[in-house]
């Protein structure tokens, strides 16, 4: 149990300090130091990129060019992607959409005329339309945004990234959105002042050479919007057109999304076009992501936090007023009685003191307990550090996949913490005997990572079979496997080695040679353990709704300030609940507290898994196909297991600190 007492206090202090310093608006994102906006001068050309086709109902992303869309003149090229982007299923590629700064298109621009659709291709397009697949275009890292009227409140506009591949009309026919009206919002910046400010820096020379254009002005892209339309063109009339030629079309110029006419038919080609309009905006470059990151329900978040704080305060009052006063009274009365002549009366005063010779007895399955605690500390540490950095703005949405990449790197590095904690607990349980620490460290390096990698491999094979971009490429799959074996495992063993040579916590009471018989209980203590998870879940479930919506409905989650507070409250409630149940068990002379302390707080995972089932049934009505359901179930089970390990480690650490303090205070004959 080495370092668990100290680490719990450290985590609390760390969370409080960092939350105070992260008191900015949850949606006000800023970028990593040293990053600068891309500026364009009038007439500069730049191009958009395309990402995978995604759907809120089907969790299988597909390559953009899996449908007969227009390709660039010089061929399709893949953009460099981070580890996080590949794990999330992003596949960013070049596109034919080309722009010239401040040059609005007078007429729609022709892109391409496809070959006549084969029956198989036409059915594929219809299938993608039925599954509500979205086209995702990126410009200067900004996803294209679409505004639609709310059918319930026409005055309110709904925002969504991307636009549908097509639509199925009331007549049962399928129509594709083959013409898009793109609006690029730009912000004009006079860079002379900025250059003067940065003259003393190394970046000043670069800025001077860049901004030497007309009037020292540059434009940054601060918004990217789309209006999709379905426009019927005469395929024969555009047969001799080349890419970027102008097309005269009244329907395309009006671009009314409610009118569709480009029908998907066998043996009929599709014609694609687009138009561009540049609009100057007052939005500054650092604030351009606000429209994407703004999440509704701020009042709900605050209500959740206030409600959780009430629960925490109430539970803390129980611990402080009832437990501590009772313990102090028992200790005082026990010291007053002293001696063997009052032993019978002492039995009535404090049942917990009677198990002093067994309370630190080695628990059943000690290796498994040590491994679970070590993995829990690693997961908790990864979550805390990731949320802190995200709340401080260091994981910018402009850097796609940064959050997932950071989590993976932290998990690998924190193998040291997993090995150190596992072996430290093992050595403490064994009263300083380090024999067998290698086995504990090895199991800690393969337990949860092995389960996670197994689930990941099975689901990845399913995605591979279905041709989804969500499948991790073979080379990356091998890289992850190598990172596990050559980074995570050695670091875990190194942490175990440090713990085996370090000091351990001495128990204040020696264990008796013969275990004391546990009195029969009227009600199984595991019933209380299962019910105890409701209190930690009460602090978590509202924020869990927003997290699940972000993961499975494609919504943006960026209120990490709220999440940081919820995490601190969750850790506090888990510690308090575990201490309460541990004390209740000791009072009825049940000294088997180790596993109950772990599961008293870890039982929140049962309610998390139950909520996942509830969310699947009542929120994901349109989840399409068994593959999407398998992905949801697999990752939900993995999430529940991670929650159980992290919260269980907190509960066991808090209970150990309480029991150690309790029995180190009393004087036993």
Confidence of residue 204 (pLDDT cuts 50, 70, 90): very low
> Residues 373, 598: contact at Cβ < 8 Å?
yes
Q: What angle do CA 243, 247, 252 make, to 5 degrees?
A: 115
pTM: 0.84
107-133 tens-digit pLDDT: 899 999 999 999 999 999 999 999 999
Whether pLDDT at 195 is above 50: no
* Measured CA distances, 499 to 32, 201, 495 (Å): 36, 46, 6
**CA dist., res. 426 & res. 443, Å (int):** 12
Identify the pLDDT of residue 596: 94
Identify the pLDDT of residue 295: 55
4-49 tens-digit pLDDT: 444 443 433 433 333 334 333 333 333 444 356 889 999 999 999 9
Mean pLDDT on 86-103: 92
637-662 tens-digit pLDDT: 999 999 999 999 999 999 999 999 88
Identify the pLDDT of residue 18: 37
**Residue 111: in which H helix or E strand, if any?**
strand 109-113
The share of the chain scoring above pLDDT 70, in percent, equals 82
Greater confidence (77 vs 521) lies with 77
Whether pLDDT at 245 is above 60: yes
Identify the pLDDT of residue 236: 80
**CA dist., res. 543 & res. 302, Å (int):** 10
CB atoms near residue 29 (< 10 Å):
21
282-326 tens-digit pLDDT: 999 888 888 887 755 556 667 767 777 776 777 677 767 666 666
Greater confidence (267 vs 355) lies with 267
Residues in the chain: 669
Whether pLDDT at 72 is above 70: yes
Identify the pLDDT of residue 511: 82
Q: Give the residue from 526, 553, 523 showing the smallest Cα distance to 615.
A: 553
Mean pLDDT of the chain: 83
50-68 tens-digit pLDDT: 999 999 888 899 999 999 9
375-405 tens-digit pLDDT: 999 999 999 999 999 888 787 766 778 889 9
> Taken in order 648, 643, 380, 569, is the CA torsion positive or negative?
negative
Greater confidence (565 vs 635) lies with 635
The Cβ-side half-sphere exposure at 103, using a 13 Å CA radius, reads: 12
Identify the pLDDT of residue 333: 64
The share of the chain scoring above pLDDT 90, in percent, equals 48
> Residues 88, 401: contact at Cβ < 8 Å?
yes
**CA dist., res. 449 & res. 443, Å (int):** 10
CB atoms near residue 665 (< 10 Å):
12
> Residues 580, 597: contact at Cβ < 8 Å?
no
Task: Name beta bridge partners: 274.
Answer: 109, 180
> Residues 623, 57: contact at Cβ < 8 Å?
yes
337-353 tens-digit pLDDT: 554 444 444 444 456 77
User: What one-character-per-residue DSSP string does 544-577 give?
Assistant: HHHHHHHHHS------HHHHHHHHHHHHHHHHHH
493-549 tens-digit pLDDT: 999 999 999 888 888 888 888 888 888 877 888 899 999 998 889 888 888 888 888
**Residue 219: in which H helix or E strand, if any?**
strand 217-229
* Measured CA distances, 655 to 45, 331, 579 (Å): 64, 18, 5
Identify the pLDDT of residue 266: 93
**CA dist., res. 384 & res. 407, Å (int):** 10
Q: Residues 6 or more apart from 22 whose CB is under 8 A from it? A: 388, 391, 392, 561, 564
Give me Rg for the CA atoms of the chain: 31
573-586 tens-digit pLDDT: 899 899 989 988 98
Mean pLDDT on 632-636: 93
The token pair at 272 is 């694609």
Whether pLDDT at 479 is above 70: yes
DSSP state, 480? H
Q: Give the residue from 446, 447, 425 showing the smallest Cα distance to 436.
A: 425
Give the residue extent of every domain in the chain.
Answer: 39-192+216-293, 295-337+526-668, 364-506
Confidence of residue 667 (pLDDT cuts 50, 70, 90): low
Give the sheet arrangement for strand 93-100, strand by strand. 93-100, 45-50, 137-139, 142-143
């Amino acid at each position: 149990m080495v370092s668990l007492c100290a680490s719990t206090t450290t985590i609390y202090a760390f969370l409080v300090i960092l939350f105070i310093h992260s008191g900015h608006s949850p949606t006000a994102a800023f970028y990593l130091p040293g990053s600068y906006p891309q500026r364009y001068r009038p007439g500069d050309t730049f191009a958009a990129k395309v990402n995978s086709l995604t759907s809120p109902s089907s969790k299988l992303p597909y390559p953009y060019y899996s449908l007969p869309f227009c390709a660039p003149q010089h061929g399709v090229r893949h953009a460099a992607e981070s580890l996080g982007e590949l794990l999330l299923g992003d596949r960013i590629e070049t596109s034919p959409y080309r722009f010239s700064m401040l040059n609005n298109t007078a007429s729609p621009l022709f892109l391409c005329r496809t070959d006549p659709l084969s029956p198989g291709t036409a059915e594929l397009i219809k299938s993608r339309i039925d599954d509500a697949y979205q086209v995702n275009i990126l410009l200067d890292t900004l996803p294209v945004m679409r505004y639609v009227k709310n059918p319930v409140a026409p005055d309110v506009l709904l925002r969504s990234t991307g636009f549908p591949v097509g639509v199925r009309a009331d007549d049962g026919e399928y129509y594709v959105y083959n013409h898009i009206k793109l609006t690029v919002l730009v912000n004009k910046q006079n860079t002379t002042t900025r250059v003067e400010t940065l003259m003393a820096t190394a970046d000043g020379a670069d800025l001077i050479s860049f901004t030497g254009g007309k009037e020292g002005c540059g434009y940054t892209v601060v918004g990217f919007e789309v209006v999709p339309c379905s426009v019927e063109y005469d395929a024969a009339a555009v047969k001799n057109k080349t890419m970027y030629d102008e097309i005269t079309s009244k329907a395309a110029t009006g671009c009314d999304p409610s009118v569709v006419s480009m029908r998907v038919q066998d043996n009929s080609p599709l014609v694609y076009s687009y138009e561009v309009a540049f609009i100057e905006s007052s939005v500054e470059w650092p604030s351009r992501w606000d429209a994407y990151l703004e999440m509704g329900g701020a009042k709900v978040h605050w209500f959740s936090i206030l409600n959780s704080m009430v629960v925490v305060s109430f539970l803390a009052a129980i611990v402080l007023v009832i437990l501590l006063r009772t313990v102090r009274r028992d200790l005082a009365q026990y010291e007053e009685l002293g001696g063997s002549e009052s032993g019978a009366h002492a039995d009535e005063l404090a049942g917990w003191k009677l198990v002093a010779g067994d309370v630190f007895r080695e628990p059943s399955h000690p290796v498994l307990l040590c491994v679970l605690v070590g993995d829990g500390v690693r997961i908790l540490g990864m979550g805390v550090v990731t949320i802190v950095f995200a709340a401080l703005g260091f994981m910018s949405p402009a850097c796609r996949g940064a959050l997932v990449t950071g989590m993976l790197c932290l998990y690998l590095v924190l193998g040291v913490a997993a090995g150190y904690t596992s072996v430290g607990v093992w050595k403490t349980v064994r009263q300083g005997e380090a024999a067998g620490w290698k086995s504990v460290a090895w199991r800690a390096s393969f337990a949860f990572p092995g389960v996670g990698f197994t689930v990941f491999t099975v689901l990845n094979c399913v995605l591979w079979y279905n041709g989804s971009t969500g499948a991790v490429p073979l080379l990356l799959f091998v890289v992850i496997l190598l990172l596990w074996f050559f980074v995570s495992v050695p670091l875990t063993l190194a942490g175990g080695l440090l713990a085996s040579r370090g000091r351990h916590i001495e128990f204040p009471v020696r264990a008796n040679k013969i275990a004391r018989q546990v009195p029969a209980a009227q009600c199984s203590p595991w019933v209380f353990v299962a019910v105890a998870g409701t209190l930690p879940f009460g602090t978590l479930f509202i924020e869990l709704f927003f997290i699940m919506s972000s993961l499975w409905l494609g919504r943006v989650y960026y209120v990490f300030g709220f999440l940081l507070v919820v995490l601190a409250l969750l850790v506090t409630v888990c510690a308090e609940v575990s201490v309460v149940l541990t004390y209740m068990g000791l009072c009825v002379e049940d000294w088997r507290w180790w596993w109950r302390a772990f599961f008293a707080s870890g039982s929140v995972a049962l309610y998390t898994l139950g909520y996942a089932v509830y969310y699947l049934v009542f929120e994901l009505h349109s989840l399409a196909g068994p593959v999407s359901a398998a992905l949801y179930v697999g990752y939900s089970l993995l999430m529940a297991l991670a929650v159980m390990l992290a919260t269980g480690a907190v509960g066991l650490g808090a209970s150990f600190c309480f029991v150690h303090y309790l029995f180190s205070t009393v004087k036993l004959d």
